[in-house]
Structure 1
């Protein structure tokens, strides 16, 4: 079993990417409604508001198994393994949803969770990579899942010379590929570890034909380090990372801002006198707290404090106007 932990900013982008994918199957959820992506997004965002200053409140994890394990993994068992993983890495007392995808040959699931827990505390993402590796290895050994013969299992401390450098290159490149979305980002990540990239171009053209990596006085082709590190395969991973990042960004260019929605709601409320009379319709507070209103609001970002102060001001003014209306 392997895991890929991700943190993001937009529950909207993440949930739609995971839940609305063809053949996606919601296996389990806690604290969020399962009937639609919009309902789930609304529930995640509602709890997120307890920590509006936390930009990256979205926890997203991909758990994958070898295709040899397919017969061992019913939906119920995958949910159990996801819960066991969460317990091992410290994802507790929070909202989550487990969704299985069937778009690849190997069985895998997506876990979306709220980094703002049920008590308003932040679930740390510190040392996510190390905790992920440890938890996956423990679960793999415990249940006898397929154990690959890849480079991840090689004892690095026993290596020397060129073979040691080969695995240092492998580890550094693989780590960089987890987060990089462009070749420049991967180059910058490797440069910090003393590794440079050399591109081989097709004769007389600007088309990249191959790639090599160099550390110290040792230079090796990507495919010689590992078959997964050829130019074409790395480029595919970077493109996929970029696509996932765009989903997480949740860019909604035409949606009005939360401040604009509040101003519009207040304008409508003030313009209708019957809203000031008890029992004769919904006031601004009721409107702001409706699920449809909250679901339409963008995720809270860095200006959350400013929005909160404005909202309090609007609520105070509305309460005063209601009091004046009743006294008449």
Structure 2
């Protein structure tokens, strides 16, 4: 079981979205006429006039279950879970309408409620993202419903509005915090993705107390995005990253002993090379100064004089 919490300004737009769908069904209501769209809108707007300065008077929560929980749920159970969720969220003594939608594969329902309660007081929404997440997890475990595998399994393409922005910030932070070592690096890398950081300081000091992130004009507390993105958790992660970086750098730099062994090895290698060269030079010096080459045999024969010339020589 998970919840998406929304606040808005127009009861008309919200109620029409919930009731004018073909596959919608009113499960539960209080303080409004739920038999007609116009009557419901009129009742909600009449009560909000008790506190006209409250702009975002529309409260809207979407409760969803996994497909695996379909055989465990009934209409009565879903209505009961919606009432329990509102009670734990502090949505009490006010008008509300619970509407079932069957246009998706997974079971889900919508709750629209008036943030101006029956006495004209405002129903707060401070830290409601974090509060809602804790309540849903507690109810999921208590009733034995399917427990999701975390944010990695959420279909980003199906997200809209603030959920889309919140997950965009989550994914950016997850990637950045895996490698950043300073807050300056975090700020620079987030700015490239259109995300701003806002620090909350302790009154009258420079001590950072909290952190929030803003994208497209919508601001989220770090802990509302994920507990690991609170200021304290992020500071701890950055410190860990710095320690890891120093450790890796130390491993890459040879120790003094390793450097000495390397120098001695180089000297030994130079000594061996020098001795080899001396041996070759000695061999060369032991050779004779010059070696007379043996004369090549003369294979050419002398021409014999003709016999007549020999005879004439004899007669003379």
In structure 2, the residue corresponding to 1:148 is in which secondary structure? coil
The Cα shift of 1:8 comes to 0.3
SS, match of residue 91 in structure 2: coil
In the alignment, the residues of structure 1 paired with residue 166 and residue 134 of structure 2 have an alpha-carbon distance, to the nearest angstrom, of: 25
Task: Give the Cα separation in 2 of the matches to 1:105 and 1:177.
Answer: 18
TM-score (norm 2): 0.51
Structure 2 partner of 1:13: 13
Q: Which residue of 1 aligns with 2:31?
A: 31
Aligned to 2:61: 61
Q: 1:86 to 1:43 in 2, by over 3 A?
A: same
Q: Which residue of 2 aligns with 1:48?
A: 48
Distance 1:148 1:95, change over 3 A: same
Deviation at 1:148, TM superposition (A): 2.2
Which residue number in structure 1 is paired with residue 73 of structure 2?
73
**Moved beyond 6 Å, runs of 4+:** none
Structure-1 residue corresponding to 2:94: 94
* Equivalences for residues 53-202 of structure 1 within 5 A: 53-151=53-151, 179=162, 190=169, 195=172
Do the aligned partners of 1:94 and 1:117 also contact (CA within 8 Å) in 2? yes
- Residue 213 of structure 1: how far off its partner (Å): 5.0
- State how far apart, in whole Å, the 1-side matches of 2:78 and 2:166 are: 33
TM-superposed CA distance for 1:65, in Å, is 0.3
Query: Helix, strand or coil: the match of 1:135?
Result: helix
C-alpha deviation, 1:121, in angstroms:
0.2
SS at match of 2:52: coil
Contact persistence 1:116–1:123 (CA under 8 A): yes
In 1, the alpha carbon distance for the partners of 2:52 and 2:152 equals 39
Please give the secondary structure, in 2, of the residue aligned with 1:132.
helix
Question: Which whole-Å CA distance do the structure 1 matches of 2:130 and 2:166 have between them?
Answer: 20
**TM-score (normalizing by structure 1):** 0.49
Contact residue 26 and residue 97 of structure 1 kept, 8 A: yes
Note the C-alpha offset of 1:217: 3.7
SS at match of 2:88: helix
1:73 offset after TM fit, Å? 1.3
State the structure with bigger RCO (CA 8 A, min sep 6), 1 or 2.
1
Coordinate RMSD, CA, aligned: 3.2
Give distance in 2, aligned partners of 1:85 and 1:194.
28
Q: Which runs of 5+ in 1 are unaligned?
A: 154-169, 197-211, 219-241, 243-328
Unaligned runs of 5+ in 2: 181-215, 217-316
Distance across 2 between alignment mates of 1:123 and 1:68: 34
In 2, Cα distance between equivalents of 1:52 and 1:73: 39
Between structure 1 and structure 2, the one with the greater Rg is: 2
* Paired residue total: 179
For residue 289 of structure 1, what is the aligned residue in structure 2?
none
Distance 1:42 1:129 in 2: 29
Structure 2 Cα separation of the partners of residues 37 and 216 of structure 1: 50
Cα gap change, 1:56 to 1:75, in 2 (>3 Å):
same
Alignment of 1:268-283 (within 5 A): none
Q: State how far apart, in whole Å, the 2-side matches of 1:30 and 1:186 are.
A: 32
**1:213-228 to 2 correspondences below 5 Å:** 213-215=175-177, 217=179
Secondary structure in structure 1 of the residue aligned to 2:162: coil
Q: Report the Cα distance in structure 1 between the residues aligned to 2:89 and 2:175, rounded to whole angstroms.
A: 34
SS class of match (1:103): coil
Contact 1:194 1:215 in 2 (8 A): no
Name the CA distance, whole Å, in 2 between partners of 1:186 and 1:63: 18
Question: Alpha-carbon deviations, 1:252-292, whole Å to 9, x = none?
Answer: xxxxxxxxxxxxxxxxxxxxxxxxxxxxxxxxxxxxxxxxx
Equivalent pair of 1:194/1:216 in contact (CA under 8 Å): no
